[in-house]
Amino acid sequence: MIKLPERPSHLREDYHLLSISDYSPEALHTLLSAAALLKRQPSQVAQLACGKTLAMIFEKPSLRTRVTFEVAMVHMGGHAIYLQPSDIGLGKREPVKDVARNLSRWCQAIMARTFSHQSILELAEYATIPVINGLSDREHPCQALADFLTFSEHKASLAGRKLAYVGDGNNVANSLMLLAAKLGVHFSIACPAGFAPMAEIIEEARAVGADTGAVIEVTADPVAAVTRADAVYTDVWTSMGQEEEAAERKRLFPPYQLNAALLKHAKRDAIVMHCLPAHRGEEITEDVLEGPQSAVLDQAENRLHAQKAVLAIAFGWTPPTR
């Protein structure tokens, strides 16, 4: 595996966003505070990206990722170029390193939504401009940042809160677990045997949690995970690229459906979270997704503000300190 130089803990103009692991708790707090500020005062970075272009590499389709990154660039006076799979054929038609080096000559940042996390790492190794992980098979850091911005809006303070996740221990779960650990938020995930988050991420999160006070729990019992939670999160049972496993996953995952009965075990004022798109009637029921505790549209909106903060810092904006 390609090893990148260790990234400094403070935010810099020339940084990458590859993994939550690369950021210190202080830097993550700064990013979230910056996102909250830009949501209230978007004029802070108006025209910051004037004359700048974001190259957006997509190996997977997207609604929220594409639209929010494009809108963020427009709000900052810049431009985004959508590069679909047939435009590049990342690593097939053209080596990843050549894509990274060519885009670095024309653009000021790269956002990539890929199947393989290795492609994200290789883009970052060879690019001379910031690279942002818009989703890989390992992590979805942009989603996690938007989710914790949403969590903080609904629950004034995050430290000591509990975020429960039920379902597949996928890339979203990996990033949520790491970010929870860094912010001192207890994280409990329930999933069938064999579908837990990556072992190395669980180990890392628990090591970080030992310093921040976050308790990281992995269980097969959805009720145990959800009990006394401040937020309950779920995601699709079958992610893109796992279509051959869909039938087996539909057989194993029904006990992990987020429904009204399961939600009753959380705190009465717990919020419901889902990164969307949702398969109603599978991982979540219609009444819960559309119910009064649902924060899913807040999450979707906050993708814009979190990513705007990431881009603004990449383009040289210095956010106020907390």
Same domain, 197 and 274: yes
Q: Do residues 107 and 129 touch, judged by C-beta distance below 8 A?
A: yes
Looking at the structure, do residues 310 and 250 belong to the same domain, yes or no? no
Same domain, 288 and 310: no
- pLDDT per residue as tens digits for the range 105-152: 999 999 999 999 999 999 999 999 999 999 999 999 999 999 999 999
Q: Do residues 41 and 157 share a domain?
A: no
pLDDT digits (tens, 9 = 90+) for 30-62: 999 999 999 999 999 999 999 999 999 999 989
Whole-number Cα distances in Å, 297 to 62, 116, 185, 292: 16, 28, 22, 12
Nearest alpha carbon to residue 143 among 25, 296, 313: 296
The set of catalytic residues is 113, 140, 143, 235, 275, 303
171 and 136 Cβ atoms separated by less than 8 Å: yes
CA dihedral 295, 296, 302, 307 (to 10 degrees): 140
Whether residues 216 and 117 share a domain: the answer is no
pLDDT at 1: 37
Nearest residue to 309 (alpha-carbon basis) of 48, 50, 79, 119: 48
Task: Give the residue with greater pLDDT, 16 vs 247.
Answer: 16
Structural domain range at position 256: 143-300
Res 14 pLDDT > 80: no
pLDDT higher than 50, residue 2: no
pLDDT (mean) for 264-282: 97
- pLDDT over 70, % of the chain: 94
Whether the pLDDT of residue 7 is over 80: the answer is: no
Q: Clarify whether residues 196 and 243 are in a common domain.
A: yes
Residue 195 lies in a domain: yes
Average pLDDT over residues 250-270: 97
Q: Is residue 249 part of a domain?
A: yes
Residue 9 clears pLDDT 70, i.e. is over it = no
Establish how many alpha carbons lie within 13 A of residue 321's alpha carbon, considering only the half-sphere containing its beta carbon: 3
Average pLDDT of the segment spanning 262-280? 98
Number of domains present in the structure of the chain: 2
- Do 261 and 306 lie in one domain? The reply is no
Q: How confident is the model at residue 238 (pLDDT cuts 50, 70, 90)?
A: confident
Residue 289 belongs to a domain:
yes
Residue 320 inside a domain? The answer is: no
In this structure, are 222 and 292 located in the same domain?
A: yes
Task: Examine the pLDDT at 197 and tell me if it is beyond 90.
Answer: yes
pLDDT score recorded for residue 320: 72
pTM of the model: 0.94
Specify whether 134 is located in the same domain as 197.
no
**Is the pLDDT reported for residue 247 higher than 90?**
no
**247-253 long-range contacts, Cβ below 8 Å, gap at least 24?**
249/168, 250/282, 252/192, 252/195, 253/167, 253/168, 253/192, 253/282, 253/283
Please indicate, yes or no, whether residues 157 and 259 belong to a single structural domain of this protein.
yes
Give the full edge-to-edge strand order of the sheet including 271-274: 216-219, 186-190, 162-166, 231-234, 271-274
Q: 240: pLDDT confidence band, cut at 50, 70 and 90?
A: low
Amino acid 322: pLDDT: 56
Residue 227 lies in a domain: yes
CA pair distance 287, 314, nearest whole angstrom: 40
Task: Specify whether the CB–CB gap between 57 and 88 falls below 8 A.
Answer: yes
Q: Identify the CATH number of the domain in which residue 248 sits.
A: 3.40.50.1370
Whether residue 132 sits in one domain with residue 37: yes
The 10s digit of each residue's pLDDT in 149-177 is 999 999 989 999 999 999 999 999 999 99
Same domain? For 148 and 129 the reply is no
